[in-house]
Structure 1
Amino acid sequence: MHTSLEPAGPEFEWLGSSAIIEVSSTASGLRIVLAAPVDIDRYVEFHFSDPRAFQAMDEGDMLGFWEPALPGRYALYRVTSGGWRERSVGHYLNVTSTLGNMHEWLVVSSDLCVSVISSDAPNLREFG
């Protein structure tokens, strides 16, 4: 199944060799922190206030989402078709897949990726 993605959010010059260093889910939402390469003191926090579901996987296991290759400076994508939500229909996410106001988001790095199903785009904060 072909996956269609559109870049969302800003471009980051330092994205190559970046790493997701934190994924935490609490009552306040889902927090994903992306760190720049070791020699660059920059971080981006993605905060989903009301995520419905999420999965974190090694980028190698997400290669099926990346054909053709992703534009190199975006860390956040909106999945417009063929994503985790569509692929799971009939297997799991049975309730979530029927909700029309849900969107799928993909946060990428060089070693870990997080797919999030949420009705709202994340809030982004760059710091460091």
Structure 2
Amino acid sequence: MQRVIATSIETPWVFQSGTDIMSVHLEWGELAITLMSGGDRKVAVVRFSEIIGFRFLDEGDLLEFWPACAAAQGWLFRIEENGWFDLEASRPGFIRSEVKGLSEYFVASQNGCVSVLTGDLPKVEIWPI
């Protein structure tokens, strides 16, 4: 198993306690992932457009993403190597493996993680609760 190489993306808020994914919503080509941290009394919404695909898995099924995507590093990451995209690209039927401008992002939380393949940068909003 190869370890993932990832870069933490700086966001407007650094959670001081663990986060949970509250919802994953796809509508009209935009994916919105809502996270909440009760200890911080904040909600973060990260939005992706130009969605190619996404998956939600329990963090226990994504051991190759640790420690690169551990909570101490943040909660939003750009995956550089050995992520879901590379796994899909190893299949002969994955025709997007040669598409330029496609990026993989990873949203980490205590109750699950979302991998996103997109042609655009994520947009983050932070709200008090």
- Gaps of at least 5 residues in structure 1 are none
The within-5 A match list for 1:26-105 is 26-37=27-38, 39-68=39-68, 70=70, 72=72, 74-91=74-91, 94-105=94-105
- Gaps of at least 5 residues in structure 2 are none
Measure the CA separation in 2 of the matches of 1:92 and 1:51. Answer: 21
The within-5 A match list for 1:20-31 is 20-31=21-32
Measure the CA separation in 1 of the matches of 2:49 and 2:121. Answer: 9
How high is the TM-score relative to the length of structure 2? 0.87
How high is the TM-score relative to the length of structure 1? 0.88
Measure the CA separation in 1 of the matches of 2:24 and 2:69. Answer: 24
Identical pairs, percent? 23
How far does the alpha carbon of each residue in 1:34-87 deviate from its partner, in whole angstroms, 9 at most, with x for none? Answer: 1003x4421000000221110011111112111456251511000001110101
CA RMSD of aligned residues (A): 1.9
Letter paired with 2:42: R
CA shift in 2, pair 1:90/1:58, >3 Å: same
Matched length: 126
Measure the CA separation in 1 of the matches of 2:71 and 2:37. Answer: 17
